[in-house]
Amino acid sequence: MAEPPARRTPDRITVRGISAHAHHGVYDWERERGQTFRVDAVLELDTAPAAAGDDLARTVNYAELAQRLHGVLTGEPVGLLETLAQRLADVCLADPLVDAAEITVHKPDAELGVPFEDVTVAIRRERPA
């Protein structure tokens, strides 16, 4: 019986630390004052075609991606980081070359009432089969 082909580890493109002052949050003061949010995006895709032809059109242009993610970050406010993360993942998966995206949203200035370094919500979404 033949062995199934080995599953290849996906290639990844990572953009970390996209930052913006935005107005997300469940409390009125968060919506009014705003605060700093940061986003990390890890995209899974096959970069071999781009590498073989040294062709930007066959991969994700991460400068354009960063602009789109920043637009979501500074766009319509949402209450939950989970909602924001999903919207950011949807932007990544809108690119047909992207098989999966992992998004981490950072809210370092959240009000927790205790000393802390950061609050994050991380999600991973795959392109529907």
pLDDT per residue as tens digits for the range 86-121: 999 999 999 999 999 999 999 999 999 999 999 999
* Mean pLDDT value across the chain: 94
The per-residue pLDDT for 3 is 64
Nearest to 43 by CA among 11, 82, 81, 9: 11
Q: Per-residue pLDDT tens for 29-40?
A: 999 999 999 999
Assign a CATH topology to domain 11-126: GTP Cyclohydrolase I, domain 2 (3.30.1130)
129 pLDDT band (50/70/90 cuts)?
confident
Active site residues: 107
Ordered by start, the domain boundaries in the chain are 11-126
pTM, to two decimals? 0.91
When pLDDT is cut at 50, 70 and 90, the band that residue 128 belongs to is confident
Sheet with 120-126: list strands edge to edge: 11-22, 35-45, 100-106, 120-126
